[in-house]
Chains A and B, each alone.
Chain A
Amino acid sequence: MGQQIFWRFSVIHRALHLIVIFGFIGIVVTGFSMAFSSVAPARGFASFLGGADSVRYLHRFFAVVLYLCVVTHVFWLFYYKLILGGNLLGPNSVCFRKQDLLCLRDHIGYILAFRNAPPAFDRFTYWEKVDYWAIFIGMQSMGLTGLFLWFPEFFSRLLPGYFVNVAHVLHFDEAVLAVLYIFLIHLTNAHWRPGVYPGDWTIFTGKTTKETLMKDHPGEWASLNASPQSSAIGEK
């Protein structure tokens, strides 16, 4: 091969992504088999999983697993900032910055053929950041409404009872939204786009090649060449 390899995702991010894949599928199949319990196949699947009690328990188990992944990401954020000395508003961060708006403008310009080249994306492109934060913020509201439904007695002591009903509606609607987002937008954006189809293995292997880096993240490539130490993960 002899190809120069760059490390894009560390083991903890790969592991978290794997756990989130299985946790998400688990929470979706258990959640929807409860939400659509009026439909016979959903009931059949629920009884296959051990009945309503079991499905409820598994749903909450997966919820805890997923939320622990969110907590781990928050810890990573502190680790990145405090121990690795990373800059949360710098080019290697997944946080939004002004540059992303300019990239969006230039990218649209490129798509509409007003510009000759795509913008110099940094480590994370704007749509990757949207992918990340849509789920990250969505997990907070799913978690909160989920807690309302898990402990209705406790929350109806603090809040009016109709909050439980509201939580029920929001929890279901946002679940549909999250499923649509993951299976349509995230999969299309990240794995089915031309160039990486049928899947982008970087999130599983952690490795990326020089060509991919130069093509997809030219901004990061430029900064890597300027000073090799600036990447959070570092090159091998």
Chain B
Amino acid sequence: MKLRSQTSAVAVYAIALFVLTLSLVAFARAEEQSSECLNCHRDRNVNSREGILSSQLFCYNCHQDPTSYEGFRAAKAPRQVKPEYFQKSAHKFVACVQCHTDVARSPHRSLSGVQCISCHRENYGSPGTHAEHLRLRCEACHTDSPFVTLDIAKNEVKLSHTNEKLVPITLAEHKVTDVTKQEFCTKCHTPNNLVGAPAMVLPSKSFVCIVCHYSPLKMGNPVFLIAVCIALIGMVATLNFWFKGRVQDEASSVHKKLQLGSEVVWSKIFSKEAFSIVRTVFFDILLQRRVLANGVSRWFIHSLIYYSFLARFSLSFFTLLLQKLSPEGEWTLTLINKDSSFVAMLNDLLGVFILAGVIWAMVRRYITKPDYIVTEEQDTIALVIIGLVTFSGFVLEGIRLLIVQMPQQIAFSAFAGYFLSRLFSAVNLDWQTIYGYNWYVHALLWALFIAYLPFGKLKHIFTTPVTLLLNYKRT
């Protein structure tokens, strides 16, 4: 009896020991499994150096191995990230998932691609370079891969996954383009390219282009520098000429004249007469009352040109301001895109108004010739410059819509440009090259406009408002 009870005690003890061991093993395995889960499902703090490096190392686990892609059906080329490129790039202290935001999931793939603008917000749509390339994905230029492709369905230019022989190539090397060298432009901007780029690398817009276009606050091409310098010399000469006259009996000292003149302006602004000045600004300058008094058709012609320029200037200046203040805003994204239906239609409409005004004025000056119109050479020059600038702009838009193969439902908003692009498509010419030359014609004409400002008829843009303000009492 004693023996049996001893035996059963040992058996119970052995079973207990077995169960304990088993549960320990199971627990240890569970522990092991959970740490395996945490390899991926750990929430790293990518705002810390440790989080960034461990996050990178986790991705490198597979992405350093050139053969790791072979088990995956979708992948046809190595997905190897080369540390010799990546660790020398500006992004070496950025976690992979900060740019590749949607890859941490199953199945492991990206639908949205790399998200550059989540950090580089202010660059998206900035004028000068980026706004002109809105339908390009960032990496199409900023990655050192020579193969780009146009996806007409998505209206998007992106990196190609194949080379020119349609052999799959890797895009995972992370070779970032050196944008201080212009060679990266010529991978698209060559004759007979397939992505719809003009055949030559064209300069950036200048700040003087803001009168009609959303443009950067920089000088751009040296041609504009020369034009602006000529205009400035003319303006200084005009001002100098004005200050040759007497100011309140002061004939010699320019300092005294400036002092007396500015004193008058100051005392008028801070007096009751400010209201008469505001009235002059509103009725005479903004509403062109005095032109209307000279004749309705005259006012109509002048308004077609004046208000169209004013509206385009306001729109492009407002767009620039908005881009600076809120680069990701909904309005900004619409306004920076010259192919968005609102901008395209408005710009075309205003351009047509300008052209109509110029043609109407020319008809009156050279064909119907009413008695009260005296045409001087400077009138002809001004009208011809404005007319040619506008016309070359429409031609430019037409060629652009044609060569970039803009989908019809988008291109249609720019009705005048679209009409021209249909016309051009009937003629089989090298439009990609013609576009570049036409761009220079358009830009040079505008540079001529700027340089001519203080010398001829166009001077009235500045002098007439000043004269009206000086005569504010004569209403």
Mark A residues whose CB is within 8 Å of B: 10-12, 14-15, 50-51, 53-54, 57-58, 83-84, 204-206, 233
Q: List 19 A-B contacts (CB under 8 A).
A: A10-B262, A11-B259, A11-B262, A11-B263, A11-B266, A12-B262, A14-B266, A50-B325, A50-B326, A51-B326, A53-B122, A53-B326, A53-B328, A54-B325, A57-B325, A58-B325, A83-B255, A205-B270, A233-B259
Which residues of chain A come closer than 8 Å to B263, judged between CB atoms? 11, 206
Describe A's contact surface by its main secondary structure: helix
Among residues of B, the one whose C-beta sits closest to the C-beta of A60 is: B324
Is there contact, CB below 8 Å, between B266 and A53? Answer: no
| Cα A226 to Cα B270 with chains together (Å) | 34
Interface residues of B in 239-268 (CB under 8 A from A): 255, 259, 262-263, 265-266
Which residues of chain A come closer than 8 Å to B328, judged between CB atoms? 53
Q: How far is the CB of A205 from chain B (nearest CB, A)?
A: 8
| Cα A10 to Cα B262 with chains together (Å) | 9
Is there contact, CB below 8 Å, between A10 and B325? Answer: no
| Cα A57 to Cα B265 with chains together (Å) | 32
With A11-B262, A11-B263, A12-B262 given, is the CB distance from A54 to B326 under 8 Å? yes
| Cα A233 to Cα B262 with chains together (Å) | 13
Q: How far is the CB of A164 from chain B (nearest CB, A)?
A: 15
Q: How far is the CB of B49 from chain A (nearest CB, A)?
A: 13
| Cα A12 to Cα B265 with chains together (Å) | 12
With A50-B326, A54-B325 given, is the CB distance from A10 to B121 under 8 Å? no
Which residues of chain B come closer than 8 Å to A15, judged between CB atoms? 266
Mark B residues whose CB is within 8 Å of A: 121-122, 255, 259, 262-263, 265-266, 270, 324-328
Which residues of chain B come closer than 8 Å to A10, judged between CB atoms? 259, 262
Among residues of A, the one whose C-beta sits closest to the C-beta of B262 is: A11
Describe B's contact surface by its main secondary structure: helix
Contact with B121, one of A12, A50, A53, A58 (Cβ below 8 angstroms)? A53
Which residues of chain A come closer than 8 Å to B270, judged between CB atoms? 204-205
Contact with B255, one of A50, A51, A54, A84 (Cβ below 8 angstroms)? A84
Among residues of B, the one whose C-beta sits closest to the C-beta of A55 is: B325
| Cα A50 to Cα B266 with chains together (Å) | 34
Q: How far is the CB of B332 from chain A (nearest CB, A)?
A: 10
Q: How far is the CB of B435 from chain A (nearest CB, A)?
A: 34
Other than A14-B266, A204-B270, give 20 A-B pairs with Cβ distance below 8 A.
A11-B259, A11-B263, A11-B265, A15-B266, A50-B325, A50-B326, A51-B326, A53-B122, A53-B325, A53-B326, A53-B327, A53-B328, A54-B325, A57-B324, A57-B325, A58-B325, A83-B255, A84-B255, A206-B263, A233-B259
| Cα A54 to Cα B122 with chains together (Å) | 11
| Cα A139 to Cα B451 with chains together (Å) | 38
| Cα A12 to Cα B122 with chains together (Å) | 36
| Cα A12 to Cα B266 with chains together (Å) | 10
Which residues of chain B come closer than 8 Å to A11, judged between CB atoms? 259, 262-263, 265-266
| Cα A195 to Cα B122 with chains together (Å) | 52
| Cα A206 to Cα B260 with chains together (Å) | 13
Which residues of chain B come closer than 8 Å to A206, judged between CB atoms? 263, 266
Among residues of B, the one whose C-beta sits closest to the C-beta of A10 is: B259
Q: How far is the CB of B364 from chain A (nearest CB, A)?
A: 44
Which residues of chain B come closer than 8 Å to A51, judged between CB atoms? 326
Which residues of chain B come closer than 8 Å to A14, judged between CB atoms? 266
Q: How far is the CB of A1 from chain B (nearest CB, A)?
A: 15
Q: How far is the CB of B391 from chain A (nearest CB, A)?
A: 37
Task: Please list the 3 inter-chain residue pairs (A to B) with the smallest Cβ-Cβ separation, ordered nearest first.
Answer: A11-B262, A54-B325, A11-B266
Which residues of chain A come closer than 8 Å to B121, judged between CB atoms? 53
Q: How far is the CB of B163 from chain A (nearest CB, A)?
A: 35
Which residues of chain B come closer than 8 Å to A83, judged between CB atoms? 255
| Cα A58 to Cα B321 with chains together (Å) | 11
The residue among B122, B263, B265, B327 with the most chain A CB atoms within 10 A of its own CB is B263
Which residues of chain B come closer than 8 Å to A205, judged between CB atoms? 270
Which residues of chain B come closer than 8 Å to A53, judged between CB atoms? 121-122, 325-328
Among residues of A, the one whose C-beta sits closest to the C-beta of B121 is: A53
Which residues of chain B come closer than 8 Å to A54, judged between CB atoms? 325-326
Among residues of B, the one whose C-beta sits closest to the C-beta of A83 is: B255
